[in-house]
């Protein structure tokens, strides 16, 4: 049973480190960019402009 627990803890640590790296990279690239992701809207497509 301790071997299963060790595997579980290992993969949990891998998952947490991966998530932390993703967050750090997102924050890094957002800080380098002049624009901000906060409050950004999806641009309206051609159908929205024609009322269809």
Looking up tokens 């991966």, which residue turns up?
18
Domain encompassing residue 14 = 1-29
**Does residue 6 lie within any of the structural domains?**
yes
**Does residue 46 lie within any of the structural domains?**
no
> Distance between CA 29 and CA 48 in Å, rounded?
31
**Does residue 5 lie within any of the structural domains?**
yes
pLDDT band at 38 (very low <50, low <70, confident <90, very high): low
**Does residue 2 lie within any of the structural domains?**
yes
**Does residue 20 lie within any of the structural domains?**
yes
Percentage of the chain surpassing pLDDT 70?
A: 63
**Does residue 24 lie within any of the structural domains?**
yes
The per-residue pLDDT for 22 is 98
**Does residue 17 lie within any of the structural domains?**
yes
> Distance between CA 36 and CA 41 in Å, rounded?
11
pLDDT digits (tens, 9 = 90+) for 5-25: 999 999 999 999 999 999 999
Q: 39 φ, ψ to 5°?
A: 75, 10
Tally the domains of the chain: 1
What is the pTM for the complete model shown?
A: 0.56
């Amino acid at each position: 049973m301790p071997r299963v627990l060790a595997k579980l803890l290992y993969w949990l640590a891998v998952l947490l480190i991966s998530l932390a790296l993703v967050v750090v990279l997102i924050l890094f690239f957002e800080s380098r960019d002049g624009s901000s992701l906060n409050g950004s809207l999806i641009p309206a497509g051609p159908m929205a402009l024609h009322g269809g």
